[in-house]
Amino acid sequence: MNAPVAHRALLGAALTAALFAAGINVAQSQSEPTPAYPAAEKHKPTTLADRIVLTHEADPSNSQSVTWRTDTTVKTAQAQIAKSAGGPGFKSSATTVLATRNVQQTSSLGAETVFHTVRFTGLEPKTQYLYRLGDGTNWSEWYEFETAAATAEPFSFVYYGDAQNDIQEHWSRLVRKSYMDAPEAKLFVHAGDLVDTSNNDGQWGEWFKAAGFVNGMKPSIAVPGNHEYSGTTLAPYWRTQFAFPDNGPTQGTPAVIDALKGTVFYTDYQGVRFIALNSNVSAVASALRPEFLEIQRAWLESVLQNNPNKWTVATFHHPMFSTAEGRNNPSQRASWLPVFEKYGVDLVLQGHDHSYGRGNMAEGTTTQTGTSIYVVSVSGPKMYEANDLNWTSNGAIAKKIGMNTQLFQVISVDGETLKYKSKDATGKLYDDFTISKPATGPKVITENLESTKPANVGGSVPNTLSLSLGTPGTLGAFIPGVGKSYEATTEVTVTSTAAEATLSVVDPSTNQPGKLVNGTFALAQPLEAAVNGAFAPVTGTPSALHTWAGPVANDKLNLQFKQTIGADEALRTGSYSKPLTLTLSTTTP
C-alpha cells in the first residue's frame, strides 16, 4: 500500500516542476486599457536616497556639495567618501560625513519629504572621489566626481535652455545624448524653466529621472525661470534641492535680498567665472522691481571688476534680445547690457523663448563693443516661432535664428580659445563658433559654420530650340505610265532645353496644299512624310512627326518623304516641287 502513495507524490512533484518551468500564460485584453500608475506612488520618497544632485557651494577645487531626498524614516542622513581606486579596496578608507542640512517638506503629492545636504571639504584638487549616500544601514550605489583643478586648465561644460514640458518623455533623450556626446564635460548649466509648474513634485521627479545618475556625477549650475515661480513665490524645492554659493548681493531692501538668495551667485571653475543672475522681476512687488535689477547690476559690476579669470560666462532666464514675437525685456536690457559690454562678458546664456538665437551688439553702437555673445536656446519640446526683430531694433545682430529644434550646447575652454558647438537631439551640429582671446590684441570671433557652407557653384541654361537639316533629299525622276512610290530621306538634328518638344511639317502654300506642283499642274496624290513611323499626308495644317519628353542634344533623325504616282496618271514635263516648313516647338520652354 505504500508504493502507490510514493508514486502519487512523485507525480505531483513532477507536475509542479513542469508548471514552474513553463510559466503560466496570462490572457491580454485588446480593448481594456491599463490604469495609469499613480503619480503619488511613482514619485514618493523612500528610505533610499534619490534625486541626487551635485552643486558647488564653495571652491570647486577642494569641496563638493551633494543634495538628495528621502522620506522621514531616515534619522541620521550621511555620506561616505573616498578617493577613487581601480578596485573595491577604497571602501576601507572611506570617511563618513553627516548631513549639514535636513529640510522637511510636504510635497504637492502629499508625501512627507526630507532633503539632505552634505558638503565635502578638505578635498584635493583635480582628484577623483567616490561617494555614497544613506543612513548608516541603507546605502545608495557609489557615485564618482572629480574636483576642479586649482588653476586654469582646459575643460568643457554643457548648457541647456528650457526643459519644462514632457520632461521624462522628450527631455530625457536630449540630456542623455549630451552626456554621450560630451562624457568628459565637468558642469551642466541650466538657464531656467527646468519644470512647468513650480511646486509640482511629479515634474521635479521627471526632471531628476531624465538626467538619472548624471546629476550625481556632474555638478549643476541652475537659475530659476518664470515657471519656477508661482506669483512672487519661488519653487519650494529650489533652495532645498540646490545648494549654491551664498555670495550674492547683501545690501538692499530685505525683501529683495531674500528673493535673490540662492538664485544669484558666482562660481570660479578652472579659469572661468560663472555668474548666475535672477531675471524674474515678478519675484518681488512691482514697486521693488527697479531695485531688484539695480542691486544685481551693482553686484554684477563688482564681481566683474574683481574677476581674476580669463573667461566669464553669465546665465539667467529672460533673454537680453528675445527671439519670440512680442517678447521684450527693456528694463533688464537697460540695466545689465551696458555692464556686460563694458567688461566684455564672453557668453551670456539664456532661455525662455523656446527657440534659438545667437548674436552680439553691432560694433560701434553707442559705447558697446560687440564682443559679448548672447545665446537663447531650448532643450525641451515646447517650441515658439522665432525672428530677429527684437535684436535688430535694439542695436544687435542675430547671427543665427532657429526654431522647432531641441538643442544642447557643448562649450570647451582651453587657454586663449573658447569653442562653442550647439547640437540637436540626434547630435547633429546646429551652430558653431570660436572665441579667441590672445594675450595682446582684440578678441576674435570666428564663425566656424562659414567654412562648411556650400559654394553654390552653378550656371544658367538659355532657352534653346535648335533644328538643322542635312542635304535635301530628292525623289528622283518620275517615269510616266509606271505606277510607283518614290522616297527620299533628309537628316534632321534637334537640340532642345524644353521639358517637351514637337517636330511638325506643314505646306504653307495656298496652291494645292500638300501636293507637289509643276506650274499649274499638280500631282494627284499628296506628298507623305514620316519620322521613325508610319507615313502621313502633308497638308496645309501642321502635322506632328516626332515628340520629345525632355531635353535633348544633337538628336539625329531621318525625315522621310514619299510620293505615290499611278500608272494612268498624266505627268507634265518639268520639275514637281513644293517648299515645306518644318517646325520645332514647345509649350513648356
pLDDT at 4: 43
Check pLDDT > 70 for residue 119: yes
32 pLDDT band, cuts 50/70/90, is: confident
Q: What is the mean pLDDT of residues 520-546?
A: 93
Check pLDDT > 90 for residue 186: yes
Check pLDDT > 80 for residue 321: yes
Q: What is the mean pLDDT of residues 241-258?
A: 96
Check pLDDT > 90 for residue 18: no
Query: How far is the C-alpha of 369 from the C-alpha of 361, rounded, in Å?
Result: 7
pLDDT at 369: 54
Residue 221 in contact with residue 189, Cβ under 8 Å? yes
The helix or strand, by DSSP H or E, that contains position 332, with its residue range, turns out to be: helix 330-343
Residue 106 in contact with residue 113, Cβ under 8 Å? yes
pLDDT at 23: 64
Q: Per residue in 267-298, pLDDT tens? A: 999 999 999 999 999 999 999 999 999 999 99
Q: What is the mean pLDDT of residues 545-549?
A: 94
Q: What's the DSSP call for residue 455? A: -
Q: In terms of pLDDT, which residue wins out, 63 or 472?
A: 63
| Share of residues in the chain with pLDDT > 90 (%) | 87
SS3 235: coil
479 pLDDT band, cuts 50/70/90, is: very high
Q: Which three cell numbers stand for residue 456?
A: 553654390
Query: How far is the C-alpha of 77 from the C-alpha of 96, rounded, in Å?
Result: 10
Q: Per residue in 385-412, pLDDT tens? A: 999 999 999 999 999 999 999 999 999 9
Domains, the chain, in order of start with CATH, read: 46-148 (2.60.40.380), 151-452 (3.60.21.10), 465-585 (2.60.40)
Residue 559 in contact with residue 517, Cβ under 8 Å? no
- Whether the model clears a pTM of 0.95, i.e. scores above it, the answer is no
Which residue carries 548608516 as its cell? 136
Query: How far is the C-alpha of 143 from the C-alpha of 362, rounded, in Å?
Result: 46
Q: Per residue in 213-240, pLDDT tens? A: 999 999 999 999 999 999 999 999 999 9
Q: Please give the backbone phi and psi of residue 40, each rounded to the nearest 5 degrees, phi first.
A: -60, -35
- How many helices (H) and strands (E) the chain has is answered by 9, 34
Output the average pLDDT for the chain: 92
457 pLDDT band, cuts 50/70/90, is: low
Q: What's the DSSP call for residue 490? A: E
What is the phi-psi region of residue 344: left when phi exceeds 0, alpha when psi lies from -120 to 50, beta otherwise? left
pLDDT at 325: 81
Q: Per residue in 135-150, pLDDT tens? A: 999 999 999 999 999 9
Cβ neighbourhood burial of 375 (10 Å; 0-12, 13-18, 19+) = buried
DSSP class per residue in 110-125? S-EEEEEEEEE-SPPT
Give the closest residue to 492 by CA, choosing from 483, 481, 501, 500: 501
Q: What is the mean pLDDT of residues 495-506?
A: 94
pLDDT at 459: 84
pLDDT at 370: 61
Check pLDDT > 50 for residue 36: yes
Residue 65 in contact with residue 85, Cβ under 8 Å? no
22 pLDDT band, cuts 50/70/90, is: low
Q: What is the mean pLDDT of residues 345-362?
A: 96
pLDDT at 450: 63
